[in-house]
Amino acid sequence: MSNSSPKRYGFRVFIGSCIFSALTIGFVLYDEHRQSTRRQVSVQNRLQSIQQKENMKEYEEQRKKYEEYKTANS
């Protein structure tokens, strides 16, 4: 038996694993938040587009009724 014992890296590996795990969890949470925000923006844009189309349709109907009223009463 020799007096030199093998170096033990257990504690360093444990600390490194904890740091790596914390960074990975942080990245996953950040990425999920970013994707959620992107989805919300996409849904808002879609709803706004639908609302604009409905508003335009309503405007066209009102304009048509006004034109009919104008021609009937002139």
pLDDT at 3: 56
pLDDT at 1: 45
What is the H or E stretch that residue 51 is in? helix 10-72
* 2: its two tokens: 């020799």
Comparison of pLDDT for 9 and 55, the residue scoring more? 55
pLDDT at 4: 59
pLDDT at 5: 58
CA 12 from chain centre, in angstroms, equals: 37
pLDDT at 34: 97
pLDDT tens digits along 15-68: 999 999 999 999 999 999 999 999 999 999 999 999 999 999 999 999 999 999
